[in-house]
Structure 1
Amino acid sequence: MNIPAPIKTILQQLPELPPTLALVTALNLLRKQLWPEDDFAWLTGRSVRLEIADLGRGVTFGFDGQRFVTAEQPADVVFAAALADYWIIARRQEDPDTLFFQRRLTISGDTELGLQLKNLMDATDFEPLLQHLPQGLRSRLVI
C-alpha cells in the first residue's frame, strides 16, 4: 500500500494535532472494547509517539490516569513504521516482532515501555473495529 505522491505531499504539510486528536478520541471511545481488563496505570504520565516513516510525520499521545490525551513533551518511546506496516499489524497479517526483526518497525527510547506497548499491539484484535469501516473503504485498504 503506497501513499500516492499528491496525497503524501498534502499529508506531510498538515499539522499533527488533528490526527492526534482523532487517535486519542478513538482510543478513549474504544478502550473498554479493545482492552477491558487494562487500566493503563503503566502508561500514566508517559508519552508515546507513532511515527509514519514514509510520511516523516506522526502522533504523540499519553495517558493521564483516566484517559488518553495528546502530548506535547518529547515521547518516552517512539515506534516508527510505514503506514502499510501499521495496517498489517492492525489486520494481524504480521506480528510486531516479525516486523521488528525485519527492521520494518523500529522502537527507540524507553525499551521497557516499548516492550509493553509492542505486546499490547500484538495481543489486540483490531478486526472487530475494522468491520465498522464501509465495505468500499475496507476493500481498498486490504493489502
Structure 2
Amino acid sequence: MKIPKPIVRILQILPEAPPAFAVVTALNLVRGQLWPEEDFAWLEGKTVRLEAVDIGCGLSYTFTAGKFMASQKAPDVTFRACLADYWVIARRQEDPDTLFFQRRLTIEGDTELGLTLKNLMDATDFELLFAHIPAPLRTRLSF
C-alpha cells in the first residue's frame, strides 16, 4: 500500500494544527454513533499522540469536558505506525494486536492508557467516520 504522493506532500508541509483540528472535529461529530456507551472518563485530561513515521508527522489530542480537542501538551501515550497501517486498522483489514506484534505499531508511555485505546481501535467500526470524508478524497485514500 502506498500513500498518494500529493497527500504525503500536503501532510508534510502543513503545521500540525489543521490535521489535528480535522481529526478531533470528525471524532466529535461521530462520537455518539461510534461509541454510544463510552463516557471516556478514562481519557479525561490525557494527551494522546499519533505519529505517522513514514511521513514524519503526527498529531496530538485530548478529551476534555466531554469533547476531543487538539493538544500541544506532552503526550501521556504515543502511537507510532506508518500512515497506511493506521488506515488498515481503521478499515478493519488488520487488527492492532497483529500490527503491534509485527512491530508495525508501537505504543510508548502510559501502558494502561495505550492498551485501552488499542482495544477501542480494535472494537470500533470507523465506516461512520469515513462517510464524512468527501467522496473524491475517499477514493484517493483507497490505497
Q: How does the TM-score come out when normalised to structure 2?
A: 0.90
Residue type of the alignment partner of 1:45: G
| Residue 131 of structure 1, CA deviation | 4.4
Gaps of 5+ in 2: none
Greater RCO (Cα-Cα under 8 Å, separation 6 or more): 2
Structure 1 contact 96–105 (Cα < 8 Å) conserved: yes
Aligned residues: 143
- The alignment yields a C-alpha RMSD, in angstroms, of 1.8
Measured against aligned partners, the alpha-carbon deviations of 1:32-59 in whole angstroms (never above 9, x if no partner) come to: 0100000100000100001011111101
Residue type of the alignment partner of 2:124: T
Residue type of the alignment partner of 2:88: I
Structure 2 contact 4–141 (Cα < 8 Å) conserved: no
Residue type of the alignment partner of 2:56: G
Percent identity (aligned): 66
- Alignment of 1:62 onto 2:62: yes
1:7–1:24 CA distance, 2 compared to 1 (3 A): closer
Residue type of the alignment partner of 1:81: A
Measured against aligned partners, the alpha-carbon deviations of 1:56-112 in whole angstroms (never above 9, x if no partner) come to: 110100011311111111100000111110110011000000000111111000000
Within a 5 Å distance, the mapping from 1:73-112 to structure 2 comes to 73-112=73-112
1:4–1:27 CA distance, 2 compared to 1 (3 A): closer
